[in-house]
């Protein structure tokens, strides 16, 4: 069965430091991969998505993610974190022929001054 694992429940980084959030998926074929962000009290917003082509994907708010098929991973990165990036981040996977997107449990990011 398809699944998505986000190994880190929460991460704390200093403002200005780099960030990497991990995501691993389980699926036999090439998946469609998404990262969403949820700010406190808000719904989810798409940061970026990967369907095919270049494995390094650029998103909004300065985020990028890299698809590594050999590691079944789609890690999210940002070179310099801002206090406004504090939120919960969800990795998700979809696939052709399916009807639902499978979400990871989320990683909560805390940013310290």
Partner 1 sequence: NAGVTQTPKFRVLKTGQSMTLLCAQDMNHEYMYWYRQDPGMGLRLIHYSVGEGTTAKGEVPDGYNVSRLKKQNFLLGLESAAPSQTSVYFCASSTGLATTDTQYFGPGTRLTVL
Binding to partner 1 by residue 100, rule CB under 8 A?
Answer: yes
The answer to the question of residue 90 lying near partner 1 (CB under 8 A) is: yes
Of 1, 28, 41, 53, the one binding partner 1 by CB under 8 A: 41
Q: Which is nearer to partner 1, 46 or 56 (CB)?
A: 46
Q: Taking CB under 8 A as the rule, does residue 11 contact partner 1? A: no
Residue 1 lies near partner 1 (rule: CB under 8 A): no
Cα–Cα distances in angstroms (integers) from residue 10 to residues 22, 27, 65, 88, 108, in the given order: 11, 25, 18, 9, 4
Residues in binding contact with partner 1, number by CB under 8 A: 25
Residues at the contact surface with partner 1, assessed by CB under 8 A: 4, 9, 32, 34, 36, 41-46, 49, 51, 90, 94-96, 98-101, 103-106
């Amino acid at each position: 069965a398809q699944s998505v694992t986000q190994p880190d429940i929460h991460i704390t980084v200093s403002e200005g430091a780099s960030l990497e959030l991990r995501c691993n998926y389980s699926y036999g074929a090439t998946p469609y991969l998404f990262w969403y962000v949820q700010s406190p009290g808000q719904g989810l917003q798409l940061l970026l998505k990967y369907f095919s082509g270049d494995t390094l994907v650029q998103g909004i708010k300065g985020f990028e993610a890299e698809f590594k098929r050999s590691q079944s991973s789609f890690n999210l990165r940002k070179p310099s974190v801002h206090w406004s990036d504090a939120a919960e981040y969800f990795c998700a996977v979809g696939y052709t022929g399916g009807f639902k997107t499978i979400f990871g449990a989320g990683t909560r990011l805390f940013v310290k001054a």
